[in-house]
Amino acid sequence: MPRVFTLCSIVVHALLVAAGLIAPLFAIDTLPAPQPTLTFDGVRRITLTDIPLPTPRGRATRPGRGAVAMTPIAAPTVMPSGIADEIGRQNDTSTPSAFDAIGVEHGVGDAIGIGVVERVPSPPPVPPQGPVRVGSGIHPPRKIVDVKPMYPPLAQSARVEGVVILEAVIDARGHVTSVHVLRSIPLLDQAAIAAVEQWVYTPTLLNGVAVPIVMTVTVQFTLQDR
């Protein structure tokens, strides 16, 4: 029995839902009228003459129909008949110009540039204060006067020979002014110094100027009866 009531309830609810869905399909009603299209036929065209322009002294005035009064600061609408040349600056020398710089002349030069630039000679090279060491681009001078050293008798009897290395300072004329020993042989040092002090060289030029130099020289002592 409960099953019968449940089945009947389901059937009744299904019929009600179906009726609610089908009923609108058979409804007959009048469709709504379409809305009218929006047009601008009634809008009046606005022109510039209908808008008042502000002026520094108050509102703009319209002298006549279709014309607007111009403000004192407005740009002119009619081209002037002529433009006068600027005066008062041709003979004005109070204000310096860019052509007053050193090395630039007034006037127009050629089509490449404006003005003519003067060549300023470079100052002569400053000679060094002291002797310049031979090397790093400075070649040793050529010896033009050579004096052979005198072999000391004591060194000959002691059978002493070898090479004495000296450092010589040569002035701008090429004369040796001072000598000191770098590698010594005691019995031969004085004879080597006495010979080197009499040597003469060609002047050494640096940038076209004769300068004193410092260079290393060697004196060879060799026994003749070996």
Give the CATH H-level superfamily of domain 140-221: TonB (3.30.2420.10)
Lowest mean per-residue pLDDT among 54-58, 121-125, 190-194: 54-58
Region 111-138: what's the mean pLDDT?
71
How many C-beta atoms lie closer than 10 Å to residue 197's C-beta? 15
- Residue 146 pLDDT greater than 60, yes or no: yes
Please name the residue that has the structure tokens 């002529």: 82
pLDDT per position as a tens digit, 63-89: 555 555 556 666 767 777 777 776 665
Residue of higher predicted confidence among 128 and 203: 203
Provide the whole-model pTM: 0.45
Q: Is the model's pLDDT at 179 over the cut of 90?
A: yes
Token pair for 121 = 């000679």
Contacts of 125 (CB under 8 A, 6+ apart): 206, 207, 208, 209
Residue 60, pLDDT score: 46
pLDDT, residue 128, reads 66
Please classify residue 156 by burial: count the beta carbons closer than 10 Å to its beta carbon, then call 0-12 exposed, 13-18 middle and 19+ buried. Answer: middle
Cα-flanking dihedrals φ and ψ of residue 13, to 5°? -65, -35
SS3 163: strand
Select the more confidently predicted residue: 186 or 226.
186
- Domain definitions of the chain by residue range: 140-221
Dig out the tokens for 112 from the structure. Answer: 């490449």
